[in-house]
Amino acid sequence: MTDKVRKSDEEWARKLTPEQFKVARKKGTERAFTGKYNDSKAPGIYHCVCCDAPLFDSDTKYDSGTGWPSFWAPLSPDAVAEEADNKLFMRRTEILCARCDAHLGHVFPDGPQPTGLRYCMNSASLDLKPKTGGD
């Protein structure tokens, strides 16, 4: 992995839309079924909206019925980081961009095989880039 990307809230706020800033930098959540990638079937690589790190391949995306884009695995194990999230009176595992600590969503143990995991992500934290010949 490359070096950590660190910026002030003011720098992030200038780079991101208000919705992206609220979700990715302030650990917000977009409303279910409102994100631009929830129903997307376009092939490509989902990158971090903050630092452009590649995070998820569209080949691992599936329709979980939850209203958020869901994946059964990150692009690589070191693309994301996990952190305990005990807010809202429940125990969850938050998923962050390993490069810049952007909040992406949460992972749950109720996904499809081969991993059995559901990486439930926010569209506002992602940027889909089409696959090119070398991807």
**120 catalytic per annotation:** yes
Return the number of other C-beta atoms located less than 10 Å from residue 14's C-beta.
10
C-alpha closest to that of 26 among 106, 79, 101: 101
The single residue of 50, 97, 100, 120 carrying the catalytic annotation is 120
DSSP string covering 51-88, please?
T--EEEEGGGEE--SSSS-EESS-SSTTTEEEEEE-GG
CA atoms within 13 A on the CB side of 126: 33
Token digits of residue 52: 């452009």
Residues annotated as part of the active site:
120
